[in-house]
Amino acid sequence: MRLKRKDLLGIEDLTRDELELILSTAASFKEVSEREIKKVPTLRGKTVINLFYEPSTRTRTSFEIAAKRMSADAVNISVSTSSVVKGETLRDTARNLEAMRPDCIVVRHASSGTPHMLAGFVGCSVVNAGDGAHEHPSQALLDMLTVKEKKGTLAGLKIAIVGDIAHSRVARSNIYGFTKMGSEVTVAGPPTMLPAGIEKLGCKVTSNVEDALKGTDVIMMLRIQMERQSESFFPTVREYSRVYGLDETKLKRAKDDVIILHPGPINRGVEISSEVADGPYSLILDQVTNGVAVRMAIFYLLLGTAKEEQQIQAGKV
């Protein structure tokens, strides 16, 4: 079995079989990070460039660690210190990077569709590490892995995604992912943060959080993205926290064995109370651990096989 793709741009294009392949491969890779020598030689000689046009700690570090644990060389480009500030276009940056013969470019950008455009410019693999409010596929995969580990399956589970759905690429990727795997997804948030037509992705929509939480197996809280809000979507942070934030009272409406996810970084006391974030139902740190395994699996599946022409040379086709 292999992933017959050059790039990983979004969950929307992936089939259920492909999702299962990535998840099962990732589950096997967890073991590598538990070893004393946390490194395997599988991707020796491959080069991965992390091209981040937006700030990130978790995702960039996670991709970098994943590449290094697979023995690939990871190079980080942070845009604030690059030629982009001199006015270089994305296309020129991409072509210059490609001239250095990387095997994979991991890209994050504030504009939706950037990774797709980049994938058209370059011959190497492109992985979307978050594009605008569109998709964040590796985050959705690590969320699915975390839930699958705890619940055994994703089919038939009730998933509530709560918060700023309109600006959330995490929400979009997770709606695609969980619905493909047979879960029942409900999104909830202030009406100003529920985009029109989101139900077309196959989820239920409500602005009543308590309804969304009722009997749910998984709660995914989204971060209120202060940096993306040019206009106000709710009157005050305090009001948002009271109505939409997850605290121990609201948590009681969920199933007894509910699990709580958050893509981080968390705003303590805004979308999630500290007691809940640090409480027994929270898997926020498991998500981070699983993130490395998922990204190792992505690199293995995208870079671990021969390109067609190499196979022909080796006489295997």
Q: Would you tell me which residues interact with other proteins (CB under 8 A)?
A: 1-3, 24-25, 28-29, 31-32, 35-37, 39-42, 300-301, 304-306, 310-311, 314, 316-317
Q: Which long-range contacts (CB under 8 A, 24 or more apart) does 235-240 make?
A: 237/270, 240/190, 240/270, 240/271
Strand ranges across the sheet with 104-109: 73-78, 47-52, 104-109, 125-131
In the complex, least distance from residue 192 CB atom to other proteins, rounded to whole angstroms: 45
Distance CA 133, CA 210 (A): 25
In the complex, least distance from residue 57 CB atom to other proteins, rounded to whole angstroms: 28
Q: Of 66 and 157, which has the nearer Cβ to other proteins?
A: 66
Count of CB atoms within 10 A of residue 300's CB? 22
What are the C-alpha distances in Å from 80 to residues 85, 118, 135, 151, 214? Answer: 7, 19, 23, 42, 44
In the complex, least distance from residue 17 CB atom to other proteins, rounded to whole angstroms: 13
In the complex, least distance from residue 32 CB atom to other proteins, rounded to whole angstroms: 8
Q: Of 40 and 288, which has the nearer Cβ to other proteins?
A: 40
In the complex, least distance from residue 70 CB atom to other proteins, rounded to whole angstroms: 8
In the complex, least distance from residue 19 CB atom to other proteins, rounded to whole angstroms: 15
In the complex, least distance from residue 170 CB atom to other proteins, rounded to whole angstroms: 27
Q: Of 73 and 247, which has the nearer Cβ to other proteins?
A: 73
Distance CA 282, CA 280 (A): 6
Cβ proximity of 221 and 276 under 8 Å: no
Give 20-77 as a DSSP string. HHHHHHHHHHHHHHTSSS---STTTT-EEEEEESS--SHHHHHHHHHHHHTT-EEEEE
Q: Of 24 and 96, which has the nearer Cβ to other proteins?
A: 24
User: Helices 284-303 and 58-69 meet at what angle, rounded to 10?
Assistant: 50
Cβ proximity of 261 and 218 under 8 Å: yes
